[in-house]
Amino acid sequence: MDTYKIAVIPGDGIGKEVVPAAIEVLDEVAKLDGSFQFQWTYFPWGCDYYLEHGEMMPDNGLEVLKQYDQIFLGAVGMPELVPDHISLWGLLIKIRRGMKQSINVRPAKLLQGLESPLKNPHDFDITVVRENSEGEYSDSGGRIHSGNDEIAIQNAIFTRKSTERAMRYAFELAQDSRKHVTSATKSNGLTYSMPFWDEVFNAVKTDYPEIDTSVTHIDALAAFFVMKPQAFDIIVASNLFGDILTDLGGAIMGSIGIAPAANLNIEREYPSMFEPVHGSAPDIAGKGIANPIGQIWTGKMMLDFLGHSEAGTRVLNAIEKVLASGVKTRDLGGSSSLEEVKAAIIQSL
Ligand code: ATP
Ligand code: MG
């Protein structure tokens, strides 16, 4: 029997509610599968920890996390008491960069039983592979005064290594999917970064002759997401483009409360971090009404990454069955509580 040591960081707000619910579901599917089990170790890091200790996680936090197979995270943020840049840079970005989680994978798929603003919604099944460590979200730039004008400069940084890594991962995923990769570009407007992006894409695709490809400008791609989603399978995008596309994906899926995500160290040198798209949702925290599906589906992504895709499929099937039966939290138009949704998913497993 394989045992996986998982570092659990519930974090703040609804993270404290959805993480234990997802862990119950994952323990149940492990028990049913019989070939593996989880060993969960909780770390109370986040904004409460910051208010007590003046830092989001201890100094040796990254060293501690390196001893675990994976990290399962809820959400961090308590905007009324801790400025967002402290919670973000003091924990999330610190872990993503420290563990070299340079790829962010975010599936967007309309599940059975959910309503979408789309016309042909059940064709919506797309995975965005987002470069997670550089690009437009670089820390390079500055502000200058020139004459009586003021200028802000933000540099976008694209390394061949990271660009190629994200693209190769997209092609690998496409092999187990519908064998199509779309590159999100904007080389008609961005004259240095995106022509380079296109060049790397053209080089990488020659190694995957069995995979169909297309190249689409990000503005058109956003429109096609809505108008003809069936044209897409795997999309590879830069940090900013991927961020925007996946929020759009969340909206098309019906609620950000169900959108899953993974920050991957694909070399498996360090643990990866599985963390839903949504934040700590302080407006609904502590009420027992948060949707646990984003966190549970994120757990399914962890199962897949650990090589237990059969158990992962079982979890997603259970989620769809529960939604189709009408058991839904308020964000999806239902009236069920977090506990009711969780219990129904465990029952359905
Ligand atoms: P971040 O800054 O981490 O991106 P945010 O403050 O932008 O987070 P969220 O915390 O995700 O955004 O909340 C955005 C909205 O979505 C809120 O109204 C919140 O209540 C709702 N929401 C987020 N997650 C869930 C969930 N799991 N279930 C129900 N509603 C949710
Ligand atoms: Mg926020």
| Distance of alpha carbon 345 from alpha carbon 190, whole angstroms | 46
The CA angle 207-210-212, to the nearest 5 degrees, is 100
Model pLDDT, residue 122: 67
Most distant CA pair in the chain, distance: 71
Determine the pLDDT at residue 227.
87
- How much is the ipTM here? 0.94
Q: Are residues 124 and 249 in the same domain?
A: yes
Same domain, 127 and 234: yes
Q: Which of 253, 279, 302 is the last residue of a domain?
A: 253
183 & 282 share domain: no
Please tell me the pTM assigned to this model: 0.92
Q: How far is CA 90 from CA 11, 71, 77, 84, 225, in A?
A: 12, 16, 11, 10, 34
Are residues 96 and 124 both part of a single domain?
no
Please report whether residue 111 resides in a domain: no
**Ligand 1 proximity of 291 Cβ (cutoff 6 Å):** yes
Burial 115-137 (b: 16+ CB within 10 A, else e): ebebeebeebbbbbbbbbbbbbb
Strand partners, 95: none
The pLDDT score that the predictor gives to residue 139 is 82
46 lines ligand 1 (CB under 6 A): no
Element housing 75 (H / E): strand 70-75
For ligand 1, atom 19: residue with the closest CA: 281
Cα of 84 vs centre of ligand 2, distance in Å, is 7
Ligand (nearest to CA of 250) = 1
Probe target for ligand 1 pocket from 85, 278, 284, with the most ligand atoms within 8 Å of CB:
278
pLDDT at site 165 = 97
* Ligand 1 binding pocket includes 257 (Cβ within 6 Å): yes
User: How far away, in angstroms, is 188 Cα from ligand 1 center?
Assistant: 34
Does residue 260 have its Cβ closer than 6 Å to ligand 1? no
128 and 235 part of one domain: yes
Which region holds residue 253: left if phi is over 0, alpha if psi is between -120 and 50, else beta?
Answer: alpha
- Asked if residue 281 has its Cβ within 6 Å of ligand 1, the reply is yes
Question: What's the pLDDT at 120?
Answer: 67
Question: CB of 188 within 8 A of CB of 257?
Answer: no
C-beta separation of 55 from 86 below 8 A: no
- Do 51 and 21 form a contact (C-beta atoms < 8 A)? no
Atom of ligand 1 nearest to the CA of 294: 27
Indicate if ligand 1 lies below 6 Å from the C-beta of 263. Answer: no
pLDDT in tens, the chain (349 residues): 999 999 999 999 999 999 999 999 999 999 999 999 999 999 999 999 999 999 999 999 999 999 999 999 999 999 999 999 899 999 999 999 999 999 999 999 989 888 887 776 667 899 999 999 999 988 899 999 999 999 999 999 999 999 999 999 999 999 999 999 999 999 999 999 999 999 999 999 999 999 999 999 999 999 998 888 889 999 999 999 999 998 899 889 889 999 999 999 999 999 999 999 999 999 999 999 999 999 999 999 999 999 999 999 999 999 999 999 999 999 999 999 999 999 999 999 9
Indicate if 134 and 237 belong to the same structural domain. Answer: yes
Residue nearest to atom 12 of ligand 1 (CA): 279
User: Which H or E run includes 154?
Assistant: strand 149-154
74 lines ligand 1 (CB under 6 A): no
Task: Please tell me the total count of domains within the chain.
Answer: 2
In a domain, 286, yes or no: yes
Please report the pLDDT score of residue 132 as a whole number. 93
The CATH number for 17's domain is 3.40.718.10
Listed residues 228, 253, 278: the one ending a domain = 253
4 and 79 in one domain?
yes
* Domain with 286 in it: 1-105+261-349
Indicate whether residue 14 lines ligand 1 (CB < 6 A): yes
pLDDT of res. 159: 96
Q: What is the mean pLDDT of the chain?
A: 95
What are 187-233's pLDDT values in tens digits? 999 999 999 999 999 999 999 999 999 999 999 999 998 888 889 99
Write the residue with the smallest CA distance to atom 1 of ligand 1.
279
Residue 241 sits in the same domain as residue 266: no
One domain for residues 125 and 216: yes
Q: What is the 3-state secondary structure (H, E, C) of 275-322?
A: CCCCCCCCCCCCCCCCCCHHHHHHHHHHHHHCCCHHHHHHHHHHHHHH
Same domain, 191 and 320: no
Burial class of residue 32 (count of CB atoms within 10 Å of its CB; 0-12, 13-18, 19+): exposed
Asked if 266 and 232 sit in the same domain, the reply is no
**For residue 83, how far is its CA from the centre of ligand 1 (angstroms)?**
17
Take atom 8 of ligand 1 and give the residue whose Cα is closest. Answer: 279
**Nearest listed ligand to the Cα of residue 279:** 1
Whether 265 and 290 share a structural domain: yes
